[in-house]
């Protein structure tokens, strides 16, 4: 299968549950509470408030009546803002060593199979790609960079603030929704999503849709029911990557089961065989 050259001008990826197997913010909280097991309130305090707020918003007339994907995503912004505000006010994420974020993760148990194989092969096959970036709602650029191998300066996300190499407990950044993710990306790549679409976008959730829809090729990793529901609501087609057509009617995203499928479809045997170590 052949793809137009514009596809390979950028590789733009989500992080949690796209590159990783599971959400990694729990690792950040684990580090904080491991430093002080008596720290209060418990992490469950924050997650309970978050899910209650999210369910309330999901059932609100604002969200149910949202007429566009952007309006739908933006309706949840205050939920994300309130969650981070509670964490910042409590400073429960203080006293985390920077090196524990960048080097203290068991990557083999956290990273999706074949991700590293794909990234290495992609960079070798397409050295013309100037923009390889991760665009995430995560709270630590050090964690994202350390796990993915993508340089810190190419990570667009929220970030813990530090005093020296120790976290203060404050998360900065303002990347709360998929709309924010796209805006933050376009702030450093102003022509992305313009008249001439380019780049590959890879994500796994509803919050990734704005970026994927602006890419020449938007890929959704193992789409969940929530993704199918939102795509159906806003008339976004989901097709298998194997059914890619350059002139396909938009809006459209392409589904895959893993990085090995992306590798075999995009790179077409140009590289060495994948290893199970991924």
Per-residue pLDDT band for 251 (boundaries 50, 70, 90) equals very high
Reduced to 3 states (helix: H, G, I; strand: E, B; else coil), residue 240 is strand
pLDDT in tens, 178-210: 999 999 999 999 999 999 999 999 999 999 999
Residue written as tokens 């602006």? 214
Nearest to 138 by CA among 153, 116, 160, 119: 160
pLDDT at 276: 43
Residue 278 has pLDDT above 70, yes or no: no
Contact between 158 and 137 (Cβ < 8 Å): yes
The token duo for 257 is 């089961």
Residue 271 has pLDDT above 60, yes or no: no
pLDDT at 130: 81
pLDDT in tens, 61-119: 999 999 999 999 999 999 999 999 999 999 999 999 999 999 878 887 899 999 999 99
The token duo for 21 is 């197997």
Contact between 46 and 86 (Cβ < 8 Å): yes
With left for phi above 0 and alpha for psi between -120 and 50, is residue 41 left, alpha or beta?
Answer: beta
Average pLDDT over residues 219-239: 99
Ranges of each domain in the chain: 5-267
Rounded Cα–Cα distance for residues 211 and 178 (Å): 8
Q: Which CATH number fits domain 5-267: 3.40.50.970, 1.10.760.10, 3.40.50.1000, 1.10.150.20?
A: 3.40.50.1000
Q: Which element (helix H / strand E) includes 191?
A: none
């Amino acid at each position: 299968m052949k793809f137009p050259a514009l596809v390979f001008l950028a590789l733009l990826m989500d992080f949690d549950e796209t590159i990783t197997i599971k959400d990694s913010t729990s690792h950040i909280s684990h580090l904080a509470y491991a430093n002080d097991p008596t720290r209060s309130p418990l992490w469950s305090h924050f997650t309970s408030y978050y899910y209650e707020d999210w369910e309330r918003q999901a059932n609100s007339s604002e969200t149910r009546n949202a007429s566009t994907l952007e309006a739908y995503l933006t309706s949840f912004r205050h939920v994300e803002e309130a969650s981070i505000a509670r964490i910042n006010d409590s400073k429960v994420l203080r006293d985390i060593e920077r090196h524990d974020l960048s080097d203290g993760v068991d990557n083999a148990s956290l990273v999706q199979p074949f991700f590293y194989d794909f990234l290495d092969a992609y960079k070798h096959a397409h050295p013309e790609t100037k923009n390889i970036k991760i665009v995430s709602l995560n709270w630590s650029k050090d964690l994202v960079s350390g796990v993915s191998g993508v340089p810190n300066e190419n990570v667009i996300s929220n970030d813990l603030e530090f005093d020296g190499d120790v976290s203060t407990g404050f998360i900065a950044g303002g990347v709360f929704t998929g709309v924010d993710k796209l805006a933050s990306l376009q702030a450093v790549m102003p022509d992305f999503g313009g008249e001439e679409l380019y780049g590959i976008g890879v994500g796994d959730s509803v919050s990734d849709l704005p970026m994927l829809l602006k890419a020449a090729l938007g890929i959704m990793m193992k789409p969940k029911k929530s993704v199918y529901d939102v795509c159906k609501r806003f008339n976004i087609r989901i097709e298998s990557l194997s059914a890619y057509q350059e002139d396909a009617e938009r809006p459209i995203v392409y589904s895959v089961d893993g990085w090995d499928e992306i590798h075999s479809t995009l790179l077409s045997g140009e590289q060495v065989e994948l290893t199970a170590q991924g």
